[in-house]
Amino acid sequence: MEEQHAPATTTPLLPHHGRRSHHKTSISSELSGAVGDLGTFIPIVLTLTLVSHLDLSTTLIFTALYNISTGLLFGLPMPVQPMKSIAAVAVSESPHLTASQIAAAGISTAGILLLLGTTRLMSFLYRFIPLPVVRGVQLSQGLAFAFSAIKYIRYNQDFITSKSTTSRSWLGLDGLIIALSAVLFLVLATGSGDYKDESQSDRNKKLNKRLRLLSAIPAALIVFLFGLILCFIRDPTIFRDLRFGPSKIKLLNITWEDWKIGFVRAAIPQIPLSVLNSVIAVCKLSGDLFPEREEISATKVSISVGAMNLVGCWFGAMPVCHGAGGLAGQYRFGARSGLSVMFLGIGKLVIGLVFGNSFVRILSQFPIGLLGVLLLFAGIELAMASRDMNSKEESFVMLVCAAVSLTGSSAALGFGCGILLFLLLKLRRLECFGCGFGSPKCKPKCSADDEDDLVV
């Protein structure tokens, strides 16, 4: 008799156990989680400020308001991150995009997402995109962050040309020793990012007490504040260059040429990335990280991204979105509620109102190696979301999707290949394959569990 194998099923990323909440939080952990995505935020904002003359004060004020609003709206550490594809096009292509063209690209992308949200087409897409494809997108984004982080740590960076330059020295205020020390500190304080179940707390009281004490340390916040201190040590002239007060907020003059350039060069590559990573991936990740809560609506997230940019971009604020990488980074360092992003928003608002555009002098001296360390942990946390692919078929689809996304530098290309591969594998398992379609015997051999793979 042949051995009967149970059909492979996809297990949840985190054990549900009746969907009880094990997410205890504290002010220190929320403060630490608040800076979890700054490894992405600061380099992009600094680059756009230096290259495209982005108004830093306006961006800080508007993103602060976004942070506070999304913290209240979602009740989760929902990140507010730069639209990465628009930023990449703005600084890497020649001629560089102007502030008005960047705004036009952001508004165009926001309009598409708002349309998809209000018509509920985004929720339709979310329900029918296969889980292995979503995991492939998450894996590729997480690894892309990790690769960038390693470059930040190992090499000096020229953000104006978006290139790595010379190897980073071991000594110095932005040397390898400081970066590697930060890595060791974060590993000791936060471990692998897993948090023990309360039901296991009586097995080894001394060990659990030590782990609780370590996890109570706001590790990421300490690393970030240490970086700020190093800014002033590296260049004491920062003090005399600071100017108090925000810049004047005003409407941008966006010409028809700006709309055309912004949409064709920047919005078109950004739209698929926003749909996949800023809406679909972040909704799925929120369900994985917070299984005791109702999964965030894709419609709600899509409308949120659209509304933010349809307001702020007109005034010159940087185009932003909700990114899965930011959510993973904030969760990795302790964020468990909307308080973390609200704290971040308050901090940005104070900086934007007090220091205005002169704060770019501080950012320009921030140790890039420390930003790389924060980005590394965020990227690995996002990539680890893909560890729930149990069957070989699921892993095959996920890895092909991730590989194409990374080598082709396009999440949309990887997504398309993943969808095609998933459908081909399902077609291969039909009984009618090769016996003529329309036959009475033509029916799928897959089980009901396979049908569940079609729903994220």
**Cβ atoms of residues 60 and 352 within 8 Å:** yes
Residue 317 φ then ψ, to 5°: -75, 150
Residue 308 φ then ψ, to 5°: -60, -50
Q: pLDDT at residue 434 above 90?
A: no
**Cβ atoms of residues 300 and 70 within 8 Å:** no
Residue 6, pLDDT score? 42
User: Residue 26 carries which DSSP code?
Assistant: -
pLDDT per position as a tens digit, 315-352:
999 999 999 999 999 999 999 999 999 999 999 999 99
Share of the chain above pLDDT 90, in %: 72
- The DSSP H or E segment spanning 22 is none
Cα–Cα distance for residue pair 417/309, rounded to 1 Å: 30
Q: Structure tokens of 250?
A: 């005003």
Q: Which residue has the higher pLDDT, 19 or 449?
A: 449
Residue 91, pLDDT score? 87
User: What angle (nearest 5°) sits at the alpha carbon of residue 289, between those of residues 287 and 292?
Assistant: 65
pLDDT per position as a tens digit, 352-373:
999 999 999 999 999 999 999 9
Mean pLDDT along residues 401-420: 88
Residue 415, pLDDT score? 93
**Cβ atoms of residues 326 and 27 within 8 Å:** no
pLDDT per position as a tens digit, 86-127:
999 998 888 889 999 999 999 999 999 999 999 999 999 899
User: Residue 357 carries which DSSP code?
Assistant: G
Provide the mean pLDDT of the chain: 87
Mean pLDDT along residues 268-289: 93
Q: Exposed (0-12), middle (13-18) or buried (19+): which is 23, by Cβ within 10 Å? A: middle
pLDDT per position as a tens digit, 141-190:
999 999 999 999 999 998 887 789 999 999 999 999 999 999 999 999 98
Distances in whole angstroms, Cα of residue 111 to Cα of each of 102, 263, 305, 308: 14, 11, 9, 11
Distances in whole angstroms, Cα of residue 12 to Cα of each of 203, 390, 453: 26, 10, 12
Cα–Cα distance for residue pair 220/380, rounded to 1 Å: 15
Beta bridge partners of 143: none
Distance between alpha carbon 102 and the CA centroid of its chain, in Å? Answer: 20
Cα dihedral 358, 361, 367, 370, rounded to 10, equals 10
Q: Which residues contact 313 (CB under 8 A, 6 or more apart)?
A: 102, 103, 104, 106, 107, 110, 252, 319
Cα–Cα distance for residue pair 66/42, rounded to 1 Å: 16
pLDDT per position as a tens digit, 381-396:
999 989 989 899 999 9
pLDDT per position as a tens digit, 215-229:
788 999 999 999 999
User: Is omega for the bond preceding 95 within 30 degrees of 0, making it cis?
Assistant: yes
Helix (H, G, I), strand (E, B) or coil at 98: coil
**DSSP line for 168-229:** PPSSSTTSHHHHHHHHHHHHHHHTTS----GGGTTS-HHHHHHHHHHHTS-HHHHHHHHHHH
Q: pLDDT at residue 452 above 70?
A: no
In 3-state terms the chain splits into helix, strand, coil percentages (rounded to 5) of 65, 5, 30
Residue 294, pLDDT score? 87
Helices vs strands, H then E, count in the chain: 22, 4
Residue 23, pLDDT score? 52
Mean pLDDT along residues 265-290: 93
Mean pLDDT along residues 298-323: 96
Per-residue pLDDT band at 55 (split at 50, 70, 90): very high
Residue 18, pLDDT score? 35
**Cβ atoms of residues 97 and 83 within 8 Å:** no
Q: Which residues contact 13 (CB under 8 A, 6 or more apart)?
A: 288, 289, 291, 385, 387, 388
Residue 195, pLDDT score? 53
Q: pLDDT at residue 11 above 90?
A: no
pLDDT per position as a tens digit, 201-255:
455 667 677 777 887 889 999 999 999 999 999 999 999 888 899 999 999 999 9
Residue 404, pLDDT score? 93
Q: pLDDT at residue 442 above 70?
A: no
User: Is omega for the bond preceding 272 within 30 degrees of 0, making it cis?
Assistant: no
Domains of the chain by residue range:
23-432+445-452
Residue 14, pLDDT score? 35
Its pTM stands at 0.85
Residue 411, pLDDT score? 85
Q: Return the amino acid letter for 171.
A: L
